[in-house]
Structure 1
Amino acid sequence: MASDDISQLADALSQTHVGDGELSYKGLGLKLDSGEPVEGLVREIEQYQGLRALRLEGNTLGVEAAQAIAQALESKDLLQRCYWSDMFTGRLRSEIPTALRSLGNALMSAGTRLTELDLSDNAFGPDGVKGIEQLLKSPSCHTLRELRLNNCGMGIGGGKILAEALMECHRQSAALGAPLRLRVFVAGRNRLENEGASALAKAFQLMGSLEEIHMPQNGINYAGIIALASAVRQNLELRILNFNDNTFTKRGTLAMAQALRHLRNVQVINFGDCLVRSEGAIALSAVLRDGLPILKELNLSYGEITEAAALVVAQAVMDKPHMEKVDLNGNCLGEEGCEALREFMENMDKADMVGSLSDDEGEPDDEDEGDDNSENDDDDGASDEDNEEFGEIVNGNGITREDSPANLQRQKEITAFLSGPSAEKLLQLKEMQINLEEQVDASEPNKAADVLLKIASLYSDNPHTKRAVVEASDAVLKKLLSGSTFQSYCFLSALLVMMGLLKGEGKVKKVSLIPGQLLCLEHAVQQEYFPHHHISLLHVFLSRNGDALKSCSSAREKLSSALEKRCHKH
C-alpha cells in the first residue's frame, strides 16, 4: 500500500469518535476492501471493550472487508446499535447480500441483542433483504426497537420477505415470553406498492407496538393504504405517521381517518402529496374534532383540497392545545381562498401555524367538477361500490339496518316512493306509519343523501305535504347526525357533492336542485338536533360556493341567513 494512502487512512482513523460505548467511522469516506485499510479498523473494533454501538455509515465495504469486520464482531456480545447506512456505494449489487450475510452471521454468533439497526441508503433490492433475513428472524433481533431501511429499493418482493421475517421474529420471541416490540419503522422510497405495503401491514398488526411509521414515496394507492389503516388502528402507541407522496384518494383517506379515531398519542401526521382531496379532508376534520388530543403537526399539502374544505380543516384544529403547524400549501384554494385562510388564522391568533401557501395550485376547473376518473386503478367511480367500500371501512361502527322487513307490502310502498317520489306516496307512507328513516344507513352516505334530497324535493306550501316532508326529513337527519362525527361528516360530504357544492370523486351525479330542497334544509339547520360544527361546515361551503345554487337564489339566501344566525348565536 502506498505511503500516502497509509497516511490518509491514519488521518481518517484519528477522527474516529470513541466513547460511551460507541465506535464511529461515520462519514470518513473509507474504501474498505482487503489488506491494511480494513486491518486498522478491525484492530480498533477488536480492542474496544464494551462496544455497544458501531457506526460505519458513509464508507464503502467490499465482501472481504465485511468478512473481516464480521470476524471482529463475533466477540462483541454487548453490541446493541448498528448504524450501517450508505456503506456500499460503488459496489456491485451482487456483492451486498454476501457482505450483509457475513455481518449478520457474526451478530448472531456473538449473541448480540440489537435495539437499533439502520441500513438506509443501501440500494440492495430484494436480494439485500434476503441478506438480512436470517438476522431479523434470530434472537439477536427479538429486542429490536428501531429498524431503518429507507431508500433501499426493496420493491414488492423485498417488502414481502421483510414482513415475513418480522412476523417470524415476533412468533419466536412471543413463544419465549418476550414478544418483539418494534417501535420505529422507516422504509421510505422502496417501491413497496400495494402488495409490499399490505404484507408489512400484517406484520405491524401482529406486533401492535409501533410508535413511528415512515413509509413515504412507495407507490402505494388506496388498496395498500386501507391495509395499512387496519394495522394503524392496532398500534395504539403511534406518535408519528408519515405516508407522504403515496396516493390515498377518497377510499384510502376514509380508511385512515377511521383508524385515527382510535389513537390518542399521535403528534405528527404527514399525508402531504397523497391526493387526500376535499372529501378526505372533511373526514379527517371529523377525526380532528373528536380525537387526536395531543396532535402537533398536520401535513395535508399538495392534496387537491379546495378552499372550503381547507377552512373546515383549519376550524377543526383550532381547539388543539398542542397544535403547532398545519401545512395546506400546494392545494387548490385560489388567491381568494388563500387570503380567506390566512384571515381566519389571524383572527384566531394562529397566523404562524398555517405557514406558506406560496405553491397553491389555484381553484380547480369547473368542468372537472363531479366526475373524476383520473386514476384508473384507484377509483372505478361507481357510487354503489363507494357505499360498499365505506360500509366495510366503518363496519361495526354504524347503525344496524333491517335488511328483511317482515311486511313485504311496506317494503313495496317504500320502494315505490324512492323510485318515483310524490306527495301522495309520502302521505300514504305516513298513513301506513312507515318511517323513511329506517331506509337510511350512516355507512351508506351517498344513498342516505339521495333519500334526504328525494324527500326534500316534495317541500311545498301545502300544509299537509309540508308537514309530512319536514317530519320525514327531520327524522332522517336526526338519525344520520346522531352518530359519530366521522359518519355524519361523511354523510354531509356526500350531500354537498350531490348539491354541487363540493367536488367529489367518481360518478356520483349532482341533483338538479329545486328551491324546496334548500327550504327544507333551512328548517333543519334551525333545529336543536343539528350540531353547531355541522352548521359551520355547511356555512363554509355555501358561502364559498354560492354560485352553484344560482337557480335557487331566493331559497339559497334564506338558507344562508339561517346558517349565519346559528353561527353567530354560538
Structure 2
Amino acid sequence: MATDIVAQLANSLAKTGVEDVELSYKGQGKKLDDAESVEEMVKEIQDFEDLQALRLEGNTVGVEAAKAIAKALETKSKFKRCYWSDMFTGRLRSEIPPALNSLGDALVLAGAKLTVLDLSDNAFGPDGVRGIERLLKSTACYTLQELRLNNCGMGIGGGKILAASLIQCHKNSSAEGTPLGLKVFVAGRNRLENDGATALAQAFQLMGSLEEVHMPQNGINHPGVTALAKAMQHNADLRILNLNDNTFTEKGAFAMAQALKHLRNIQVINFGDCLVRPAGAIALAATVSEGLPILRELNLSFGEITEEAALAVAQAVKNKDQLEKLDLNGNSLGEDGCKALKNAMEAMNIGELLGSLSDDEGEPEDDEDDHDDDEEEDDDEDVDEEEIEEEEEESNGNKLSTPVAASRPTDVSSFLSFPSPDKLLKLGATRAMLIEQQVDVSDATKTAEAFLKIASVYKEDNDDVKNAVLDSIDALLRKAFSTPSFQGCNFVSTLLVLLGLIKSEDKVAPVLVVRGHLNALQHVASQDYFPKEYVDVLAVFLSRNPKALESCGNARNSLQSTLQRVRSEDCEHTHTHRLTHTETD
C-alpha cells in the first residue's frame, strides 16, 4: 500500500516537472544556418502542445534558421522562458538583430507572457539590443521577472537603448494595470560605464521591484555608482547587489552606504575590487552595524582598505546572526593588520566567517600624491547631487528618459571626463577657448583623446551641438598644429590606434567608434591647419582596412570620399603651381 502511494506521488511530481514544459537543445553544438537545418527542431516545437521554455544555449543560429524557429513559436501562447544564451557563436554581428527580431515578434504574435529572457554570452553589442527592443516594449514582457544579458558587449549605447525599452515597457504595462515587476537583472561585463549605468538606474528606480542586481566589470565610476545607489533605495526587496570590479572610490562608497540604510532585505553585498578605500569601508561598516539584519555575505576585497577600516568592518558584523562569509582579502592590512583582524574575529567567535587573507597587499606606502591625483580625477568626474535629486523628483511623474541637467555650471574637466552634448553647450560661448586652454597640446596622445571625446557628442541633426563640436575641435587643433613642439605624426598615429585602424605596441585598446568621430575627422581633413601629408596617411590606412569602421556606414564612406577629394585637390594645386613656376622660368 505504502509502495503504491509513493509510486503515485512520484508519478504526480514527474508530471509537474520541467521536462513536461521545456524543450532543450542545450550544448548540442548545432550549426543552424537555414530552414532545412532546423526542420526536425521546428516539428518538435510544433508538436509540443504546452511548450513553456526553449533552450538553445550552445548552438549557433543564423537568420533563416531563426525565422523558421520563430514561425513554429507563433502558436505557443503558454510560452514563458527563453534560454537563449551563447547561440550566435561565429555569426556576423549584422545577422543577430534580424534573428532576434524574428524570434521576438513571434512571441508577441503568440501572446506569450515571458518570465525569463536570457541572452547572456552573445557578443551582439548595441545592435543586438536593438534586436530585442520591440520585444522588451511589448505585452510579452509585461510579466518579465528575469532579464539576463551578461557579457553581451552592450556598451553605453546598448545600455541606453535597454534602459529606454524597460522604461517604456513599465509605462505601457502600468497603463494596463499590470506594471512591469522585474526581479532579477544581470548585465556583467558590458562596458556600460557611467552613462549606461545612469540610464539603467532610471529604469531601476521606476520599477522598484528588483531583488537581484548583478553588474560586475562595467567600468562604472562614482557618478554611475551614485546614480545606481539612488535607484537601489527604491527597491526595498533587494536581496543581492553585485557590483564587483567597478570603481567606487570614497564618493561612490558613501552613496552606497546611504542607499543600504533603506535595504533591510539585503543578503549579499559584493563590492569586491571596487576601490572603496578606508573611508568608504568605514562608512559601509556604519550602515552594516546599524541595519541589514539578514546579511549573509559581505565582500569588500581588493579595495585598498587599511587595518583600522577592516577592524571597523569586523566590528560591524559581530551581531549578524545569518552571516556566512566576510571577504577582506587583497586589501592593505599588512602582516600585523591581518593578525589583528583574525584575532578580532576570533574574539567575537566569528573567526570561521573570515575568508582568506592570502592576497593581502601589505601596508600602504606613504604616497599621498598618488591619492591626491585620484581625488582630483574623482572631482573631474563628479555628478552634482542636485542633479540626482531632480532626477529622483521627476521619477514620480515617469519622466525618466532624459537626465536632468546639473544646476551648477559645467567645467571643461567634467565634460572631457564624461562628454555629453548638454555639457558641451553648457560651457557657453567661450567653450572653444576654454577647451583650448585646458588641453595640453604638447602631449599628442592627450590631444588625440580630447579630439575623440569632443567629436563623440557630434549630432548631425542638431546644428547647435554640431557647430559647438566643430568650433571646439578647430580651436584645439589649430592651436596644436601651430605649436612648434606639437608632434603631429604622433597625434595621427594615436588617432589610428584609437580608431582601431592599426594595432599599438603598447596594447592600447581602441575606443568605441561612433559616427561623430568620423564626421569630425571629415571636417578636419578639409581645414587649412591640417597638414595634407596626414590626409594621405589617413586615406592609406582606411583603404587598407576596408572592413574597419564598418559599423559607421555612411560616415566612413563620406570620410573616405573627402580624403580622396582633398588629396586630388592638393595634387591639382601642386601641378598648377609647378606649371606656373615653369612658365615663369
TM-score, length of structure 1 as denominator length: 0.63
Verify the 8 A CA contact 1:251 1:389 in the aligned structure 2: no
Q: Residues 89-116 of structure 1, C-alpha deviation per residue, up to 9 Å, x if partnerless?
A: 0000110001000100100110100000
Give the match for residue 278 of structure 2.
278
Verify the 8 A CA contact 2:241 2:269 in the aligned structure 1: yes
1:202 and 2:202 aligned: yes
Give the match for residue 11 of structure 2.
none
SS in 1 for 2:233: helix
Deviation at 1:37, TM superposition (A): 3.0
- CA 1:314–1:237: 2 relative to 1, 3 Å: same
SS in 1 for 2:339: helix
Measure, in 1, the Cα distance between the counterparts of 2:175 and 2:301. Answer: 44
Q: Which amino acid aligns with 1:199?
A: A
Verify the 8 A CA contact 2:35 2:64 in the aligned structure 1: no
Q: Residues 241-284 of structure 1, C-alpha deviation per residue, up to 9 Å, x if partnerless?
A: 00000000011110111010011100000000000010000000
Verify the 8 A CA contact 2:227 2:388 in the aligned structure 1: no
Deviation at 1:374, TM superposition (A): 2.8
Give the match for residue 234 of structure 2.
234
Give the match for residue 254 of structure 1.
254
Deviation at 1:316, TM superposition (A): 0.4
Between 114-123 and 372-381, report the one with greater CA deviation.
Answer: 372-381
Give the match for residue 419 of structure 2.
none
Measure, in 1, the Cα distance between the counterparts of 2:98 and 2:49. Answer: 27
Give the match for residue 428 of structure 2.
none
Give the match for residue 302 of structure 1.
302
Deviation at 1:35, TM superposition (A): 4.9
Q: Which amino acid aligns with 1:69?
A: I
Q: Which has the higher contact order (CA 8 A, sep 6+)?
A: 1
Give the match for residue 211 of structure 2.
211
Q: Structure 2 regions of 5+ residues with no counterpart?
A: 1-16, 393-585
Q: Residues 133-186 of structure 1, C-alpha deviation per residue, up to 9 Å, x if partnerless?
A: 000000000000000000000000000000000000000100011100000000
Q: Which amino acid aligns with 1:76?
A: K
Measure, in 2, the Cα distance between the counterparts of 1:392 and 1:171. Answer: 21
Task: Give matches, 1:540-555, under 5 Å.
Answer: none
Q: Which amino acid aligns with 1:205?
A: Q
Verify the 8 A CA contact 2:184 2:210 in the aligned structure 1: yes
SS in 1 for 2:246: coil
1:134 and 2:127 aligned: no
Give the match for residue 108 of structure 1.
108
Give the match for residue 87 of structure 1.
87
Deviation at 1:379, TM superposition (A): 3.4
Q: Residues 513-538 of structure 1, C-alpha deviation per residue, up to 9 Å, x if partnerless?
A: xxxxxxxxxxxxxxxxxxxxxxxxxx
Measure, in 1, the Cα distance between the counterparts of 2:387 and 2:76. Answer: 54
1:335 and 2:348 aligned: no
SS in 2 for 1:269: strand
Q: Which amino acid aligns with 1:357?
A: L
Q: Which amino acid aligns with 2:189?
A: R
Verify the 8 A CA contact 1:373 1:380 in the aligned structure 2: no
Measure, in 2, the Cα distance between the counterparts of 1:105 and 1:212. Answer: 28
Measure, in 2, the Cα distance between the counterparts of 1:219 and 1:79. Answer: 36
Measure, in 2, the Cα distance between the counterparts of 1:30 and 1:18. Answer: 23
SS in 2 for 1:231: helix
Deviation at 1:347, TM superposition (A): 1.9
Q: Residues 417-458 of structure 1, C-alpha deviation per residue, up to 9 Å, x if partnerless?
A: xxxxxxxxxxxxxxxxxxxxxxxxxxxxxxxxxxxxxxxxxx
Task: Give matches, 1:16-95, under 5 Å.
Answer: 19-95=19-95
- CA 1:258–1:391: 2 relative to 1, 3 Å: farther
Deviation at 1:289, TM superposition (A): 1.1
Deviation at 1:38, TM superposition (A): 1.1
Measure, in 1, the Cα distance between the counterparts of 2:377 and 2:176. Answer: 43
- CA 1:343–1:140: 2 relative to 1, 3 Å: same
Deviation at 1:318, TM superposition (A): 0.4
Give the match for residue 321 of structure 1.
321
Q: Which amino acid aligns with 2:45?
A: I
Deviation at 1:391, TM superposition (A): 13
- CA 1:392–1:230: 2 relative to 1, 3 Å: closer
SS in 1 for 2:360: coil
Measure, in 2, the Cα distance between the counterparts of 1:360 and 1:333. Answer: 7
Verify the 8 A CA contact 1:220 1:247 in the aligned structure 2: yes
Deviation at 1:380, TM superposition (A): 5.2
Give the match for residue 151 of structure 1.
151
1:180 and 2:180 aligned: yes
- CA 1:280–1:331: 2 relative to 1, 3 Å: same
Q: Residues 273-309 of structure 1, C-alpha deviation per residue, up to 9 Å, x if partnerless?
A: 0000100000001101111110000000000000110
Give the match for residue 484 of structure 1.
none
Question: Which has the larger Rg?
Answer: 1
SS in 2 for 1:295: coil
Measure, in 2, the Cα distance between the counterparts of 1:313 and 1:34. Answer: 57
- CA 1:390–1:319: 2 relative to 1, 3 Å: farther
SS in 1 for 2:98: helix
Verify the 8 A CA contact 2:126 2:153 in the aligned structure 1: yes
Verify the 8 A CA contact 1:251 1:390 in the aligned structure 2: no
Q: Residues 209-262 of structure 1, C-alpha deviation per residue, up to 9 Å, x if partnerless?
A: 000010000000000011101100000000000000000001111011101001
Verify the 8 A CA contact 1:193 1:221 in the aligned structure 2: yes
SS in 1 for 2:236: coil
Q: Structure 1 regions of 5+ residues with no counterpart?
A: 1-16, 397-570
Give the match for residue 344 of structure 1.
344
Give the match for residue 364 of structure 1.
364
Verify the 8 A CA contact 1:254 1:390 in the aligned structure 2: no
Measure, in 2, the Cα distance between the counterparts of 1:99 and 1:184. Answer: 25
- CA 1:389–1:80: 2 relative to 1, 3 Å: closer
Q: Which amino acid aligns with 1:265?
A: N
- CA 1:181–1:35: 2 relative to 1, 3 Å: closer
Deviation at 1:372, TM superposition (A): 2.6
- CA 1:370–1:288: 2 relative to 1, 3 Å: farther
Q: Residues 330-387 of structure 1, C-alpha deviation per residue, up to 9 Å, x if partnerless?
A: 0000011111111111222212211100000000002338953136532359xxx99x
Give the match for residue 564 of structure 1.
none
Q: Which amino acid aligns with 1:186?
A: V
Give the match for residue 524 of structure 1.
none
Verify the 8 A CA contact 2:209 2:235 in the aligned structure 1: yes
Verify the 8 A CA contact 1:82 1:116 in the aligned structure 2: yes
SS in 2 for 1:54: strand
SS in 2 for 1:204: helix
Q: Which amino acid aligns with 2:269?
A: I
Give the match for residue 99 of structure 1.
99
Verify the 8 A CA contact 2:77 2:112 in the aligned structure 1: yes
Q: Which amino acid aligns with 2:323?
A: M
Q: Which amino acid aligns with 1:292?
A: L
Measure, in 2, the Cα distance between the counterparts of 1:189 and 1:139. Answer: 29
Between 67-76 and 369-378, report the one with greater CA deviation.
Answer: 369-378
Q: Which amino acid aligns with 1:122?
A: N
- CA 1:151–1:238: 2 relative to 1, 3 Å: same
Measure, in 1, the Cα distance between the counterparts of 2:362 and 2:380. Answer: 26
Give the match for residue 125 of structure 1.
125
Verify the 8 A CA contact 1:270 1:300 in the aligned structure 2: yes
- CA 1:169–1:143: 2 relative to 1, 3 Å: same
SS in 1 for 2:379: coil
Q: Which amino acid aligns with 2:254?
A: L
Measure, in 2, the Cα distance between the counterparts of 1:352 and 1:390. Answer: 44
Q: Which amino acid aligns with 2:60?
A: T
Q: Which amino acid aligns with 2:100?
A: L
Measure, in 2, the Cα distance between the counterparts of 1:135 and 1:223. Answer: 30
Equivalent pairs counted in the alignment come to: 374
